Amino acid sequence: MSVKITLIFIVLVVSVSCTLDRPKESLRTRKLVDTVGFTQYKWQLDSILNRIDIADFKSIDTAYTAVICPHDDYKYAAGLFNKTLSGIKAKTVILIGVAHRARNFNLENKLIFGSFKDWKSANGFIKVSPLRDKILQKLKNSTFIVHDSMMQLEHSLEAINPFLQKNDPTVEILPLLVPYMTFENMQDFSDEMSKVVFELLEDNNLQLGKDIAIVISNDAIHYGDEDWGSKNMAPFGVDSLGTDKAISLDKEIIDNCLIGEISDHKIKMFNSYTVQENNFKEYKWTWCGRYSVPFGLLFANKLNVLVLGKELKGSLIDYRTTIHNKHIKVEDIGMGVTAKANQHHWVGFTGISFN
């Protein structure tokens, strides 16, 4: 959300600029960015988990190969975080995130990695998998960039980590961000990355889903006519009818592009729904995962074909919005929200599993 991004950027710009001149060793640990919408202490996380609706604790026996997961404030989305990520059982999780501040660093058409050795989490620290460096050794230099400042500023992955650690305290992550990117480059980079990861699976006797899984960070429509950086993002209006139309289009995109057997055609259709045909940097429909979702699905699907010889199938876990689902009380545990939720400013989000 634009408000969240602005708050995070203002708070961190000084500290991040200072770290640019520090020795690389001082950047071993990525710090937390959002301590308002997300937890920074284990006791906060324990409180959140105690307040999540029991329906969001359904036991999942199947190990998901990949999921699309929200990254909105826990007050709004913690239940769907928990429900979606409960099926991620792998020891190593490839996290594919949004690069909200890519414009600040003129980053586009390259996958973004960091050099951090671990990330701070509400549960302490979460280790970055050594497979990251093995992947970078095999990728073409033109495919990626290592950019710690971008990785430090970005909030779309850190909210996922506590739920992964709840499932497995020893879990390791392999984070990457997807900035502005043409669909052609998504195709090329996903081809390359899927082959590299497939080789690592083979060389290390690892199984997809059991040992390595993929989590794609995304929030769906950002809608309304207030607090979107002076933009009116309510093409259908802000009454109940307009809200219903926006939600209907979100669900249409999910049904047409992300559910059932996944294919390049469906993923390209998602790209056509969300990005302007003549300018890949401009929204057509304001999903902040307009790059992370298509790249992540192309990569996951191609990897699944290499491993199992078949396409992934997507299953809807749930679709929710910040104004329609029940909110969790967080104010009494030192947390809050980074953006309001009403007819004039709201966000949709979804959980989808892939196997």
Number of continuous H segments (helices) and E segments (strands) in the chain: 10, 15
- For residues 250 and 270, give the distance between their C-alpha atoms in angstroms, rounded to a whole number: 11
pLDDT score, position 59 = 84
**Structure-block tokens of residue 160:** 């996922």
Helix axes 264-274, 240-257, angle to 10 degrees: 160
Tokens of 191: 């081809």
Sketch the domain layout of the chain as residue ranges. Answer: 2-354
Q: What is the CATH number of domain 2-354?
A: 3.40.830.10
Residue 6, CA atoms < 13 Å, CB-side half-sphere = 9
Measure the N-to-C terminal CA separation of the chain; round to a whole number of Å.
29
CA dist 351 and 338 (Å) reads: 21
Confidence (pLDDT) at 27: 58
Structural element, H or E, at residue 141: none
Kindly report the number of other CB atoms within 10 A of residue 100's CB atom.
Answer: 22
pLDDT in tens, the chain (355 residues): 544 545 444 444 444 444 343 344 445 999 999 999 999 999 999 999 999 999 999 888 889 999 999 999 999 999 999 999 999 999 999 999 999 999 999 999 999 999 999 999 999 999 999 999 999 999 999 999 999 999 999 999 999 999 999 999 999 999 999 999 999 999 999 999 999 999 999 999 999 999 999 999 999 999 999 999 989 999 999 999 999 999 999 999 999 999 999 999 999 999 999 999 999 999 999 999 999 999 999 999 999 999 999 999 999 999 999 999 999 999 999 999 999 999 999 999 999 999 9
Res 23: pLDDT:
40
State the DSSP code for 126: E
How is residue 87 written in tokens?
């099926």
Three-class SS of residue 351?
Answer: strand
Cα 50 versus chain centre, distance: 24
Say if pTM beats, i.e. exceeds, 0.95.
Answer: no
Write down the pLDDT at residue 58: 83
